[in-house]
Amino acid sequence: MSYPPNYRYTREHEWIRLENDTAAVGITDHAQEQLGDIVYLELPKVGDRFSATQPLGTVESVKAVSDIYSPVTCEVVDVNAELAAHPELLNQDPHGAAWLVKVRLADRAQLDGLLSAEQYEAYIAEEAVKSDK
Amino acid sequence: MKKARPHVNQNEGLIFEHSSPGKRAWQLPPLDVPEVDPAAALGGDHIRESIGGFPEVSEVEVVRHFTRLSTWNYGVDTGLYPLGSCTMKYNPKVNEVVARLEGIAGVHPYQPDALAQGCLKILRLLSGCLLEITGMEAITLQPAAGAHGELTGILLVRAYLESRGNPRRKILIPDSAHGTNPATAAIAGYQVENIRSNALGTVDLDVLRRAVTEEVAALMITNPNTLGIFEENIGAIAEILHARGAQLYMDGANMNALVGMVRPGDAGVDVMHLNLHKTFSTPHGGGGPGAGPVGVKKHLEPFLPVPVLEKGAGGRLRLIHHRPQAIGRVRAFTGNFGVLVRALAYILACGGNGLKAATQDAVLNANYIRKGLEDVYDLPYKQPSLHECVFSDRLQAGHGVRTGDIAKRLIDYGFHPYTVSFPLIVHGALMIEPTESESKEELDLFIEAMREIAREAEQEPQTVLAAPHTTRVGRLDEVTAARRPILRWQEPIAE
């Protein structure tokens, strides 16, 4: 699966996509592949506030439980209700239908500190080499 | 397969499915007091005519039901149970004998202190033993499990820091930690910050130095860590934290590698928990409740949960329920007393030299397995192993075989699987902890089985991928079970 060039990415494997006033946040294809079959999600409530790199939820697969970190300082304005009943969407369409939350950004400039698609792909390739050595 | 061969065992439904109306497994003597109408005594609203779906079976059916189920089980009394990080050691039967002694089994928690001096003495003696083993200065025996001990310990840290004016905001946790550590910190109201391990698999002192600020309440460290590697710099780690007013918490889950050899208290640890159901041979999980005593240094003692045991005038032991700075209660009464008794029985039966020998044997056994398997399984961290060794599935992954597949195949060979996919810093981890309980013969059988599976993974991967082959059920659909669990039996609708 390719990494959309208009998204920004974190080293903790989240993505963020700007949409007018707000932004959608999700986990990357690489993240879902590493986790395996996702069975449960814990997401924040509308109105919750997070600072950048703070955990905003958790994702649980058959293999592991992992925190989801907020890529930016933000307030949650919408939560993807579909995922509670269909966590498998995260495995099927991580960059699209399986967005987790929509947020209002405190400071758009924080996006500049995140990775581009190209940088993210280089990062996961480098990680794979490290774990293979 | 030297250890296992298929044998007949019987199918068994749920107890509900054996039910037929009117069957009984009991008989009451004739009533020798006046009969009371329960509806009149309790009020009609509180009475029901029947309990829907309640199983009605005879005595022999109940006995056979549970006996048949027990034959499907695998326990530490069946064979090696190498679940890494769990210390599934043999639970000596003498523990059970002692716990069943009349004066111990029959004591009531509301019995006045004056009439329970023997039991209080047991608690005091156990406290003394655990303090000597850990090098700590005060202890609570109340917490009912390891994670419960962690929470108690971090609440003690919070109470102590609050008493000094600022509880602080963050808890640091190495990436090799047990998953319960971050959960504990979060429940105690702290933010969690991960500390990356260095290439040796231990805490990086430079990374730690940068991370420890005035915001940090404590570091939670497991020693030896989940890679089975001893954190040699534990003393320096304590100094770095103490210099900034932070506390050092030690997760004692892996104490089976240290008892009689190293005392965490001597290394600068401020607060730690023990898992009596791991290190001190009391039953695990479904086999009975656990116990997670928390040892502390003097400065944390005023905050220990109540009641606290004290020796009063004339050597009388008593429980003190009111202490102004205590964090409160964390468990009813004095904790899981029956478990504490078993741990004390084990400690006294082993004695100091015996406990030390157990530690040495646990480390020896883990290294024997490491040596026996390191040419066929990848060993990502090469530092000396203590009580467990962690391999990865890198060599097998090339044939499509992953750690979970190897574990399933191991069941066919007659062993309980090792811990799969943990610790998370090893991709595709196989975490193996044999404990001191195993003989060389049992370890050889295990090594032989693991080597045979490595060969299968290379030459006939399908055998491993489709395992287990000889069990009552094959591969379970774990994904559907987790996504759409059916958690209770429902009575079939009558046709």
B24 pLDDT higher than 90: no
Is residue B147 domain-resident? Answer: yes
Are residue B339 and residue B363 in the same domain, yes or no?
no
Listed by number, the residues of chain B in 310-339 with a beta carbon closer than 8 Å to a beta carbon of chain A are none
Q: How many Cβ atoms are within 10 Å of B161's Cβ, its own excluded? A: 17
pTM reported for the whole predicted model: 0.89
Q: Would residue B403 count as lying in a domain?
A: yes
- My answer on whether B261 and B143 are in the same domain is yes
Fold topology of A8-132: OB fold (Dihydrolipoamide Acetyltransferase, E2P) (2.40.50)
Q: Where a domain ends, among B347, B367, B397?
A: B347
What is the token pair recorded at B77? Answer: 């009394």
The chain B residue lying nearest A38, using CA atoms, is B479
Contacts of A131 in chain B (CB under 8 A): 427
Neighbours of B327 (CB within 10 A): 18
Q: Which of B347, B369, B404 is the last residue of a domain?
A: B347
Closest-CA residue to B84 (of B406, B421, B490): B421
Question: Model ipTM?
Answer: 0.75
Please check whether residues B358 and B297 belong to one and the same domain. Answer: no
CB-CB contact of B176 with B201 (8 Å)? yes
Grade residue A131 by pLDDT with cuts at 50, 70 and 90.
low
Whether B221 and B320 map to the same domain: the answer is yes
Asked if residue B34 is part of any domain, the answer here is no
| Shared-domain flag, residues B210 and B224 | yes
Helices (H), chain A: 29-35, 82-85, 89-92, 117-132
B398 in contact with A at a CB cutoff of 8 Å? no
Mean pLDDT value across chain B: 94
Q: Is residue B42 part of a domain?
A: no
pLDDT in tens, B363-404: 999 999 999 999 999 999 999 999 999 999 999 999 999 999
Q: How confident is the model at residue B276 (pLDDT cuts 50, 70, 90)?
A: very high
Q: What is the pLDDT of residue A132?
A: 57
CB contact under 8 A, B191 and A54: yes
**Residue B154 and residue A19: Cα distance in Å, rounded?**
42
Do B418 and B329 have their domain in common?
A: no
Residues of chain A contacting residue B483, judged by C-beta atoms under 8 Å apart: 39-40, 87-88
- Interface touch A39/B479, C-beta < 8 Å: yes
Q: Are B242 and B126 in a shared domain?
A: yes
Q: What is the pLDDT of residue B495?
A: 61
Q: Is residue B52 scored above 80 in pLDDT?
A: no
Domain boundaries, chain A: 8-132
Which candidate in B181, B420, B427, B477 is best for mutational testing of the A interface (most A CBs within 10 A)?
B427
Q: Beta-carbon neighbour count of residue A40 at 10 Å?
A: 14
For residue B153, what is the enclosing H or E element? helix B146-163
pLDDT tens digits, one per residue of B291-334: 999 999 999 999 999 999 999 888 999 999 999 999 999 999 99
Number of separate domains in chain B: 2
Report the CATH number that the domain containing residue B308 is assigned in CATH.
3.40.640.10
Q: Is residue B215 part of a domain?
A: yes
- CATH code at B458? 3.90.1150.10
* B341 and B400 inside one domain: no
Together in a domain, B313 and B379: no
pLDDT score recorded for residue B7:
86
Yes or no, beta carbons of B424 and A64 under 8 Å apart: yes
